[in-house]
Amino acid sequence: MILRKTLSSLVLMLLYGCHLHMAKTVMNGGDLEAALPEPRAYIPDSQNLDFVYHDHEELTRFLRATSARYPNLTALYSIGKSTQGRDLWVMVVSSSPYEHMVGKPDVKYVGNIHGNEPVGREMLLHLIQYFVSSYTTDQYVKWLLDNTRIHILPTMNPDGYAVSKEGTCDGGQGRYNARGFDLNRNFPDYFKQNNKRGQPETDAVKDWISKIQFVLSGSLHGGALVASYPYDNTPNSRLLKGICRSSALCAMFQTYSAAPSLTPDDDVFKHLSLVYARNHAKMSRGVACKSATPAFENGITNGAAWYPLTGGMQDYNYVWYGCMEITLEISCCKYPPAYELKKYWEDNQLSLIKFLAEAHRGVQGFVFDPAGMPIERASLKVKGRDVGFQTTKYGEFWRILLPGYYKVEVFAEGYAPREVEFVIVEQHPTLLNVTLQPSKYFAATVTSKSTSSHTISSTTPRGPRGQVNDNVQFPTN
């Protein structure tokens, strides 16, 4: 029996060692980005995807056809259904689409959370087509897909889109879901209790991001031209709502209400927003869409400084799961005519790609126990930055940080906490592995059985090359 347990542990350690070797290969892929040529321009194939708006049936057909045509680069799954029963499709684009590879970060884009803002919906369909058609010919795209797992949800609000009208630049028709809820006001909030009833679409997204540890995310909107970053809400929002009852009072408190609400990672969020804005054809100029609307310096803004809101998706991603999400307003007109879509693609192509590459900036690594086994749900916090993050069930962690000296605090139940110093450089991500020692109480009271709770189970579903399956269901056709 002792020999069998010893052999079992050795097999698991060897298996995880293979995963770690491959993870290092993935992480070191960040070194290559600076040496790669810029992504090539996209040459659309109108037979596969034209610059027109696609209804839900057409969108579904395109995603299914692409998944069938590129089975080694794509995987299609639904995270749930809308209020009216439409699938919330997600397309994964990666060289390892069906499984999570240990050490390879997951990133995402979400489009069309407001149904009458569909430019992002179409941009994400073209981004999928661009990736799959460029993988074998474009070095940058190949590097990105080899080292990143990209999840794309083209429409979070298909019901709202179904009742929206092309050519409508303003107004609220189609903005909300079929029950009349604004989905970008429907998430739990950091500053204020959100009593709005949860909707099928937001519940599906919450479940989705609880299963997959996303490192970086962008939410695509319309109606302005700016990259907006957390926080969207402010500690003063409740007070202002009670005070601002008339236009005169609102004007009096306008400056007060529009104060920035900055996260502990404000430097990172500003950087991510600038990456998008500066690679965009127009955004960084900070030009106002209309004379009555604000201009944004360098094309970026803190969300609350623009206007505070409760229940936003980007704050929820960041505070609850440590995912760095920003909101991308990419069209002055919410629902512009279809003939303008090609221009919007040309404006956003480079930004959409370069933004995702930022997942390879900062620190990445693993938390182990003394036997070299991964510790699941270890908590990490960069000193001076109060919003923490956790390891995956394979002990992985990621945090986007700018160059500098940092100290990370690592905690896990049953283990002595530890502080580790590290350095971030510009050229490549820092690989940091942390080993925690059992606490004295833990060592004295917990039997050897507890060690196995931190190992990768030999029954875990596996794919090729050390990949492990997510808890998502892929369609069979």
Residues 121 and 111: beta-carbon distance below 8 Å: yes
CB neighbours (10 Å) of residue 288? 14
Cα 49 to chain centroid, rounded: 25
> In terms of Cα–Cα distance, which of 98, 114, 218, 220 is closest to 172?
114
Q: Give CA–CA dist 243/241, Å, rounded.
A: 6
Whether 421 is a known active-site residue: answer no
Task: Please give, one letter per residue, the 3-state secondary structure of the chain.
Answer: CHHHHHHHHHHHHHHHHHHHHHHHHHHHHHHHHHHCCCCCCCCCCCCCCCCCCCCHHHHHHHHHHHHHHCCCCEEEEEEEECCCCCEEEEEEECCCCCEEECCCCEEEEEECCCCCCCHHHHHHHHHHHHHHHHCCCCHHHHHHHHHCEEEEECCCCHHHHHCCCCCCCCCCCCCCCCCCCCHHHCCCCCCCCCCCCCCHHHHHHHHHHHHCCEEEEEEEECCEEEEEECCCCCCCHHHHHHHCCCHHHHHHCHHHHCCCCCCCCHHHHHHHHHHHHHHCCCHHHCCCCCCCCCCCHHHEEEHHHHCCCCCCHHHHHHHHHCCEEEEEEEECCCCCCHHHHHHHHHHHHHHHHHHHHHHHCCEEEEEECCCCCECCCCEEEECCCCCCEECCCCCEEEECCCCEEEEEEEECCCECCEEEEEEECCCCCEEEEEECCECHHHHHHCCCHHHHCCCCCCCCCECCCCEEECCCCCCCC
Residues 37, 38, 44: CA angle, nearest 5 degrees: 125
Residue 51 tokens read as: 């610059």
Instruction: Write the single-letter amino acid at 406.
Output: Y
Token pair 């229940």 is found at 311
Backbone angles phi, psi at 227, to 5 degrees: -105, 115
> In terms of Cα–Cα distance, which of 391, 405, 399, 321 is closest to 363?
399
Q: Which of 33, 99, 329, 396 is catalytic?
A: 329
List the catalytic residues: 329
